[in-house]
Structure formats: structure tokens, C-alpha cells
Amino acid sequence: MTGPPGTRAAPAAKAPRPRLGLTANLGQFLLLIAVQALLGGVLGQERTILPLIATRIFALQAPSAALSFIVAFGIVKAMTNLVAGTLADRVGRKPLLVAGWLVGVPVPLLLIWAPDWGWVILANVLLALNQGLAWTNVVNAMVDLAGPARRGLAVGLNEWAGYSGVALTALATGYIAQVAGLRPAPFFLGLAYVGLGLALAAFVVRETRGHAREEGQERSAVTGEQDQRLPVRRVFALVSVRDRTLSACSGAGLVTNLKDGMAWGLLPLYYAAAGLPIGQIGVLAAVYPGVWGLGQLATGPLSDRFGRKPLIVAGLLVQAFAIAALATAHGFVPWLAAGALLGAGTAMVYPTLIAAVGDVAHPAWRASALGVYRLWRDLGFAVGALVSGLIADWAGYAFAIWVVAALAALAGFMVAVRMSETRPART
């Protein structure tokens, strides 16, 4: 509405500039933690029982065949991470988060009604799209809100929420399966998670790309870096090969999830072959991601205080030792202790690698860099399931687990030689 003749319309009020930091964005940050826990639950519904469904319902006897669902999941999720990271810098975080939840709606239904193993593979392709689109952009949003000073804490909280959801759901579905059978009852949890997660993403979560722009402007003012997006091919080259630190992070991430592909698919079969009941297998399947998730509450902030590189190197070596213990130990209690140690080693590495990539990448192309890093990291699911499954076909479960332990140790030495410290200087 215009004023009297001769007067000027009042200028439109400027939108307030986004504020960085956990305190300034506490409500949205807590909401994203809840969304991340639901995403972890969608992933965790498979953790205990799907390898057992492969052998007991669909009669897949070869470990490599039983682990084929993880190969499909890992390849599709890796490629989705790359696309989601690139698009997040262009269209924002929230649209991709909502799209990820929409894609996840059919997953529990397919797992309930699958008439043959091919339908299970399809469910895991959709699960990979769900996790790649949604998990990637919850990470991006939480890193955007936290700012550089608490990046490690933000990633630690993100991964704690996600893998706590994985662990609790793996534990719950193991007990449900022991009481009510492998299908359909355990997957009712997944249906509830998908419905609630979609509602929160669509109606309550807010866009955070403006926070990344604000951080980029602040960083450029201090360092003189040019605030512009890099071409995707250049970001891909930097994170994959050209930058020593970023490529070391990518290699370490690949080996960490290579180990997880083995743990997800091979270890339940290994425990079942030793005669453990489904309930105990569920506990073992839960303790590793449970300690992993809880440990990140400590390791994320520790990396903000003491640096990224020491935690990454030590965590890879702890993982190697724990995997070797799984191969040599026998019985529920020794495997429980080794699984807890494996979770602790993974907690040292997982949030710290994401924080290190976020340290090096400029906010203008950080989501793309994280997408490339997560491409290599999540290819580890496929490589781990394929390699450990084929080796188990040929030489047995224990030898396959030993090979993965050796790869984790090699990755630790590679990071020690190749990576530089990335933690921002504390002010």
C-alpha cells in the first residue's frame, strides 16, 4: 500500500543474517538429531536379521550371495552421496532431505512382502537412495548450523544419533525376530520411522544453506579466499587424489566402511555358524554400532580440542586390533568385548574424518566435497561385502575377517604418512 503523494514507500526490512553456532540454532539442531536417529533406525532394521533371512528363508548358502544386498546398497549409496552433495550446494539441503524420506517409504513394505531375493535387492537400492539423500543432508545442515568452532562436536552428535538408532533398532529387531519370526513383525518399526521422519522433514526442518553462505563470507573476510563454487570435476579430483589430506581422508573412510560391510553382512553369519541364537546375535550386532554411536559424543569434541589426525590414526589401528580379536576369539562374551572395542575405534574415526574434510573445503563447495568423500567412504560397504564374502567362500569366515583387519592397519599407516592436521586454529 502506497503512502500520501510526495512520500516514499518505506524500504522493505532486511531479513536477519543467519547466526552460526549450536546455541543460536539449538531448536533446529535438536530436531536434526531426532531426524538422524530415525534414519539410523531405518538402516538398523536390517542389521541383525537380513543376513539370516538370506540363508533361512531364501536358502542362499554362499556368503557372497547372502551379502549381495550390501553390495547393491554400497554402490548406490556411494553414487547418491556424490549427487546429493553437489545438488545440496545448488538447490539446498531440505528438498533433498524430503526426497530421501519419500524414497524410503517402500523399503519396509518390500522387506515384509519380498517373494524372492531380487525384491530384497530392490529394497536395498531404495534404502541406499534414502540414506544417501537424507543422511547426507542432515550432516550438511548440522555442519552449516554449528559453524567452524564446533564442527567436530556437530558431526559427533550427528553420527551418535544415527548409529544409536542403528544399534537400538538392531537390538529390538533381534528380540522381535526371536519371539515373532524373521518377517513381518521386525519391519513394523521401519514403517513407523519412515512416517515420522517424512513428517518432520517436510513440515518442521528448515533450510540451512544460508548459514553456509554466512560462514563462507566470514571465512573469506579473514583469509582472503575467494568465495565461489568450484566445478564438480575439480572438487572430485581434489578429494580423490590431488589434495594429500582430502584423499587420505577418502581412503581412510573407504577402509572404515569396508570393515562395516564385513561386520554388517558376514559377522551375523559367522556368529550363527558358531551356534548362537538370534537374540544373542542381535546383541552382538547392536553393541558395535551402539558403542560407535555413543563414543562419538566424546570423539567429536576431542577432535575440536586436540586435532583430527591423532584420532584418525589411532582409531584405524584400534579397529584393526578389534577385528583381529573377532577372528581369534570364540564365544558370546569375547565377541561382545571385541565388538565394543571395534565400536570405539570406529567412533574415533567416523566423525573426525567428516570434520577434517569440512575443515579443508571452503563452505562454498563444502557440501560437494563431503559428497565426494562420502562416495569413496560408502563404496567401502560394497567392497567390504564383496571382498569378505568371496574370501569367506574360498577360505572361511575367520580368514576373511583377518584380511579386513590387515587392511585397517594399512589404512592407519597411510593416514599417518599422508595426512596433515586440519583443525582450525582456536581463538
pLDDT tens-place string over residues 394-408 = 999 999 999 999 999
- Is residue 101 predicted with pLDDT exceeding 50? yes
What does the mean pLDDT of the chain come to? 89
8 A C-beta contact, residue 383 and residue 73: no
Bond into 277 cis (ω within 30): no
**332: burial class by Cβ within 10 Å (0-12, 13-18, 19+)?**
middle
Amino acid at 353: L
Q: What is the pLDDT of residue 296?
A: 85
Answer yes or no: is pLDDT of 132 > 60.
yes
Span 219-252, pLDDT tens digits: 666 666 655 667 888 999 999 999 999 999 999 9
Asked if 89 contacts 210 with a C-beta cutoff of 8 angstroms, the reply is no
The whole-number pLDDT of residue 413 equals 96
pLDDT over threshold 80, residue 19: yes
C-alpha cell at 321: 586390533
Q: Which three cell numbers stand for residue 181?
A: 519370526
Instruction: Provide the grid cell at 352.
Output: 573426525
**What pLDDT sits at residue 410?**
97
346 CB-near residues (< 8 Å, 6+ apart) = 256, 259, 260, 288, 292, 295, 315, 319
Percent of the chain with pLDDT over 70: 93
Yes or no: say if 387 and 258 are a contact pair by the CB < 8 Å rule. yes
Pick from 386, 401, 347: nearest CA to 157:
347
Please say if the pLDDT value at position 427 is more than 50.
no
User: Which pLDDT tens digit goes with each residue over 36-63?
Assistant: 999 999 999 988 888 889 988 998 888 8
Sign of the alpha-carbon torsion through 296, 298, 304, 309: negative
Q: What is the 3-state secondary structure (H, E, C) of the chain?
A: CCCCCCCCCCCCCCCCCCCCCCCCCHHHHHHHHHHHHHHHHHHHCCCCCHHHHHHHCCCCCCHHHHCHHHHHHHHHHHHHHHHHHHHHHHHCCHHHHHHHHHHHCHHHHHHHHCCCHHHHHHHHHHHHHHHHHHHHHHHHHHHHHHCHHHHHHHHHHHHHHHHHHHHHHHHHHHHHHHHHCCCCHHHHHHHHHHHHHHHHHHHCCCCCHHHHHHHHHHHHHHHCCCCCCCCHHHHHHHHHHHCHHHHHHHHHHHHHHHHHHHHHHHHHHHHHHCCCCHHHHHHHHHHHHHHHHHHHHHHHHHHHHHCCHHHHHHHHHHHHHHHHHHHHCCCHHHHHHHHHHHHHHHHHHHHHHHHHHHHHCCCCCHHHHHHHHHHHHHHHHHHHHHHHHHHHHHHCHHHHHHHHHHHHHHHHHHHHHHCCCCCCCCC
Asked if 181 and 57 touch (Cβ cutoff 8 Å), the reply is: no
- Give φ, ψ of 117 to 5 degrees: -65, -25
**Any idea which of 351-360, 401-410, 412-421 has the lowest mean pLDDT?**
351-360
pLDDT digits (tens, 9 = 90+) for 253-276: 999 999 999 998 899 999 999 999
Whether 10 has a pLDDT exceeding 80, the answer reads: no
How many percent of the chain have pLDDT more than 90? 59
Q: Are 239 and 357 in contact (CB under 8 A)?
A: yes
**Would you state the cell numbers that stand for residue 41, as one nine-digit string?**
533406525
Q: State pLDDT tens for residues 270-296.
A: 999 999 998 899 899 889 988 988 898
Does the structure show a pLDDT above 60 at 137?
Answer: yes
Higher per-residue confidence, 84 vs 35: 35
Amino acid 362: pLDDT: 82
pLDDT attached to residue 39: 96
Q: Is residue 302 pLDDT above 70, yes or no? A: yes
Question: Residue 1 has what pLDDT?
Answer: 45
Domains of the chain, first to last: 26-418 (1.20.1250.20)
140-167 pLDDT, tens digit each: 899 888 877 777 788 888 888 998 899 8
Mean pLDDT to the nearest integer, 183-208: 95
Average the pLDDT over each of 63-67, 322-326, 336-340, 369-373 and give the range with the smallest value.
63-67
Q: Which residue matches cell numbers 567436530?
A: 152
Do residues 133 and 107 make contact, with C-beta atoms less than 8 angstroms apart?
Answer: no
pLDDT tens, position by position, 109-130: 999 999 999 999 999 999 999 9
C-alpha to C-alpha distance for 252 and 407, rounded to whole angstroms: 10
Q: Radius of gyration over alpha carbons of the chain, in Å?
A: 22
